[in-house]
Structure 1
């Protein structure tokens, strides 16, 4: 039975937001965790909430500006997904890039659950306690809500 289990592909989620920390985490994953039975799903999550925050420059009554900002954000995300796909191809590993929208933590957890992932890997920006308390931390959320093992790469 152990032989058939080792033959099955392991699905590993790697969170990539375009930061240097995420890129370092991916490199660490390739060097230390990845093997021929691994299938990598790079998740890039577009979080539009920052465009609607209280006190932002967007006036609630100007829906045209808000839609323009959303479209620009989507363009940037599509470009990042293209770059991530190139990174994945260059690494020579089997996998895909998934672009999603929403709050990153719950979105990653949902994708991991839907795809029956074996683990989640994420980088960590190293926010201090106060900043993490007010801003939240995606890696912190994933660590506390995941049903599968989570690797958090710092620095």
Structure 2
């Protein structure tokens, strides 16, 4: 854990996408300094799984459990990759795998760890898709009490 007295704590949101990789690289090259400590956050939201069935048709419990395990396996793989990326970059910090809705979860960890800023990538959803699907970066921008940097390539 970071020494909050002497270090600036920065949250970098990473979902394993190419956009997130570019955002992390940009962070390392342009923001991270000797007094920085980065918390790379990967958030797993099991509610988004499409294999759960629908309200109209009861889902098979075995399928739900298998989808949950598959999602956890993908998340663990992503976290291992993020840990390697952090180690390779020689950046001081840690990788956290959290569960829940990404926006509120990221805001919560930023508040709990007294972060100085949050950096997130942006997939560039169009207005219509963002309206219906939501946007993690949009949520963070509107709910954060610390500066937010949205890195869009």
Same fold, judged at TM 0.5 (above): yes
Deviation at 1:53, TM superposition (A): 7.6
Deviation at 1:55, TM superposition (A): 5.9
State which of 43, 46, 49 in structure 1 corresponds to 2:47. Answer: 49
Runs of 4+ with deviation above 4 angstroms: 52-56
Partner of 2:73: 75
Partner of 1:4: none
Q: Distance in 2 between matches of 1:64 and 1:92?
A: 42
Q: Distance in 2 between matches of 1:26 and 1:152?
A: 11
The 8 Å contact of residues 11 and 38 in structure 2, kept in 1 or not, is answered as yes
Equivalent pairs, count: 147
State which of 107, 110, 113 in structure 1 corresponds to 2:111. Answer: 113
CA offsets 1:20-40 (integer angstroms, 9 cap, x no match): 110000000011100010000
State which of 125, 138, 148 in structure 1 corresponds to 2:136. Answer: 138
Instruction: Please list every run of 5 or more consecutive structure 1 residues that lacks an aligned counterpart in the other structure.
Output: 1-6
Deviation at 1:61, TM superposition (A): 3.9
State which of 93, 96, 116 in structure 1 corresponds to 2:94. Answer: 96
Relative to 1, partners in 2 of residues 1:131 and 1:54: Cα closer, same or farther, differing over 3 Å? farther
Q: Distance in 2 between matches of 1:51 and 1:118?
A: 32
Deviation at 1:60, TM superposition (A): 3.0
CA offsets 1:17-67 (integer angstroms, 9 cap, x no match): 0111100000000111000100000000011112268866xx534111101
Q: Distance in 2 between matches of 1:75 and 1:61?
A: 21
Partner of 1:126: 124
Q: Distance in 2 between matches of 1:84 and 1:54?
A: 28
CA offsets 1:112-152 (integer angstroms, 9 cap, x no match): 01111110000001111111101100000000000100000
